[in-house]
Amino acid sequence: MAQSTLLSLRHICRSFGGIQALDDVSLDIAKGDIVGLVGDNGAGKSTLIKILAGAHDPTSGEVILEGQPRRLSPPAEAQRLGIETVYQDLSLIGTFTAAENFFLGRELALGRGPALLRWIRLKSMGDTAIKGLDELHIDIPGVRSKTVERMSGGQRQLVAIARGAFWGHKLLLLDEPTAALGVRESREVLDLIRRLGAKGLTIVMVTHNLDHLWQVCNRVVVMRRGRKAADLPSAATNMEEVVAYITGAKEAMPARATALEAGA
Amino acid sequence: MQADHSLPETSAPAEVPRALPSTQAGYPSPGARERRAMLMRLLGTYGTIIVLGSMLLIFSVLQPGTFATIGNFRNIINDMAIGTIVAAGLTVPLVAGDFDLSIGYVASFCGLLVVGLLSFSGLSIPLAIVLVVGLGTLIGIVNGIVVSKIGVNAFIATLGTGTIVVGLNYAYSGGIPLQLTQSREFTNIAIGRIAGVPHLVIIMAVVLALLWVILNRTVQGQHIKAIGVSPESARRAGVAVDRSRIVAFAIASTCAAIGGVLMASNLGSGQVTAGDGFMLTSFSAAFLGSAALREGQFHILGTLIGVLTVAVGNNGLAMIGAPIFTQFLFTGCLLVVAVALGGIGRRYGRG
């Protein structure tokens, strides 16, 4: 790949008590990549995403962002560095409008000092959110008047992803963006992800849906038992092969292969 | 996210299918289910206003000469002013998803303390008031820290601090009311009028306006509302959750202290337990308010309507000559009804 590397993980390990959630995972993410992260439950996808989001620190290993070793935790630090995460749930406030959600924690306000004395600029927030959604060709009525709990699941997901893209200028992490969505809504969300990719945003997306993965991702990373089982351009592989990696029917990691031979 | 929000809508109407007339083999027809959900939504949104409206109607019919007069309503508004300030303050932590059971005791102690500081320590009126209200703020901050940083359940924590405040109250007063030895200057704060409008009503309006602005027009208010809905989402979006909770408790306690000071000014003395009752009436008012216009959400205007409902009920009962015990029955029933209505609003309001 000719593009420059945005972020590298070097020999990342992470354990929780006695459980090794991630075991020596190395991964390079190039600028503009749309990486699909797949694997069975407990394979380490979530832990990997959380390390990228700054929600967990690796037990050992290095994170290199644009050539510099970085500590991404706490999540606010990852956000400051331009990494945004859209969690499967718990990302929006139901009683807030889309515009208010857009700016939650980063409100446009008059005045400085304690939050108690900062006058919130609802109008500017509404205008900016509408503009931001327009630029991504997201058509949602009532951005500044309708609470998101009155929107459909698909609209909520579009708002959540648009918010992530609005603030995350380097890397956008998506945790199961199409889970619990209908067919048409999934398509709208995938369209948005594709448009974001076309704008040059780097995206890592956890998914259980391989169909959806092929529709948007240029790379597939398969996790299995805390290790990276495969890392392939999606054009150079197929669903059958990826499923084989997920289930362990096929093992590609040379280190693991030799270890098995030595054990046998 | 989606499943989470759509659940109440689909599951709730199915809870009581047999009560419906149009049921067949225990299942309501879609139309009946919709009508029921609609009715519940109306109840959760306008329940309190219906209660208030019917009380106004009934008492007006029963006592047209005494209840339904401008003079009586002026009295009701004036009498409810202090309670409104305390209840509106309580609304802030409720919006943040917290409880504060200490407000009544804080009001009692602050009322007593301000009289003590004026009569026995010889402080000037402004200084005494600033000190006492500052103490209220401090108690609120302690509540907030215990609840957010140490993680003690808000019920227990504020019950604890409230009881400590009762202890301080008795330590200071010996359990005996303090008489105000000063001039009328202090009592004039509550009793005086400007252009015919009682000070109390003006102060109530100012406090209500201030709290409304804080909740609806400041960054802090936005954060308080967000953590009340989903603290985890708010935290992930970068909201300082603990700090917002502490601010909310501080606001409630400050308002309780202001209420205590005004109560002392109104009574002209420091009574040991005079403010204790504010706790129950404030909760009633706030919960009633959550079933007024906003489908189970706490809000300042709703709390005002809630206080008005409690006040009109008590006033009306007194007017028709009902014995005093009925007021307790009424207040107790109203609290239960209020919480039920708020719950209905929350359950059926979404989606």
DSSP A37: E
Q: Does B161 touch chain A (CB under 8 A)?
A: no
* Average pLDDT score over chain B: 89
Give the residue on B whose Cα is nearest the Cα of A54. Answer: B236
Give the residue on A whose Cα is nearest the Cα of B241. Answer: A105
**Tens digit of each residue's pLDDT (9 = 90 or more) over A43-100:** 999 899 999 999 899 999 999 999 999 999 888 899 999 999 998 876 899 999 999 9
Q: What is the pLDDT of residue B112?
A: 96
Dihedral angle computed from the Cα positions of residues A134, A136, A141 and A147, in that order, rounded to the nearest 10 degrees? -110
**Residue B218 pLDDT exceeds 80:** yes
C-alpha–C-alpha distance, residues A157 and A178, integer Å: 8
Confidence of residue B29 (pLDDT cuts 50, 70, 90): confident
| C-alpha distance from B161 to closest chain A C-alpha (Å) | 25
Most confident among A105-109, B63-67, B127-131, B190-194 (mean pLDDT): B127-131
**Tens digit of each residue's pLDDT (9 = 90 or more) over B128-170:** 999 999 999 999 999 999 999 999 999 999 999 999 999 999 9
* Average pLDDT score over chain A: 89
Q: Does B335 touch chain A (CB under 8 A)?
A: no
Q: Is B239's CB within 8 Å of A156's CB?
A: no
Confidence of residue B271 (pLDDT cuts 50, 70, 90): very high
How high is the ipTM of this complex? 0.85
CATH superfamily of A33-54+73-247: P-loop containing nucleotide triphosphate hydrolases (3.40.50.300)
Helices (H) and strands (E) in chain A, counts: 9, 12
Contact by Cβ (8 Å): B278, B259:
yes
**Residue B295 pLDDT exceeds 90:** no
Contact by Cβ (8 Å): A33, A233:
no
For residue B252, give the nearest of B95, B128, B132, B111 by alpha carbon. Answer: B95
Q: Does B5 touch chain A (CB under 8 A)?
A: yes
Domain boundaries, chain A: 33-54+73-247
- Quote the pTM value: 0.86
Q: What is the mean pLDDT of residues B92-117?
A: 97
Give the residue on B whose Cα is nearest the Cα of A148. Answer: B351
Q: How do strand A60-65 and strand A68-69 relate by DSSP bridges? A: antiparallel
C-alpha–C-alpha distance, residues A256 and A254, integer Å: 5
- Find chain B residues with C-beta within 8 A of A156's C-beta: 1-2
Q: Does B18 touch chain A (CB under 8 A)?
A: no
Q: What is the mean pLDDT of residues A164-173?
A: 91
Give the residue on A whose Cα is nearest the Cα of B248. Answer: A116
Q: Is B220's CB within 8 Å of A114's CB?
A: yes
- Find chain A residues with C-beta within 8 A of B230's C-beta: 90, 93-94
Q: Which of A85, A93, A103, A112 would best serve as a mutation to test chain B binding (most B beta carbons within 10 A)? A: A93
- Find chain B residues with C-beta within 8 A of A108's C-beta: none
**Residue B118 pLDDT exceeds 90:** yes
Q: Is B220's CB within 8 Å of A115's CB?
A: yes
Percentage of chain A exceeding pLDDT 90: 72
**Residue B308 pLDDT exceeds 80:** yes
Give the residue on A whose Cα is nearest the Cα of B2. Answer: A153
Q: What is the mean pLDDT of residues A2-24?
A: 89
**Residue B323 pLDDT exceeds 50:** yes
- Find chain B residues with C-beta within 8 A of A119's C-beta: 217-218
Residue B159, class by beta-carbon neighbours within 10 Å (0-12 exposed, 13-18 middle, 19+ buried)?
middle
Q: Encoding tokens for residue A213? A: 């993965």
In chain B, which among 227-246 make CB contacts under 8 A with chain A?
Answer: 229-230, 232-234, 236-240, 243-244
- Find chain B residues with C-beta within 8 A of A107's C-beta: 219, 222
Q: Is B5's CB within 8 Å of A93's CB?
A: no
Q: Is B238's CB within 8 Å of A105's CB?
A: yes
Q: What is the pLDDT of residue B5?
A: 40
Q: What is the mean pLDDT of residues B179-183?
A: 81
In degrees and rounded to multiples of 5, residue A79 shows phi and psi of -65, -40
Confidence of residue A255 (pLDDT cuts 50, 70, 90): very low
**Residue B15 pLDDT exceeds 70:** no
- Measure CB to CB from residue A119 to each of B217, B223, B243 and give the nearest one: B217
Contact by Cβ (8 Å): B173, B167:
no
Percentage of chain A exceeding pLDDT 70: 94
Q: What is the mean pLDDT of residues B104-111?
A: 97
Q: What is the pLDDT of residue A4?
A: 87
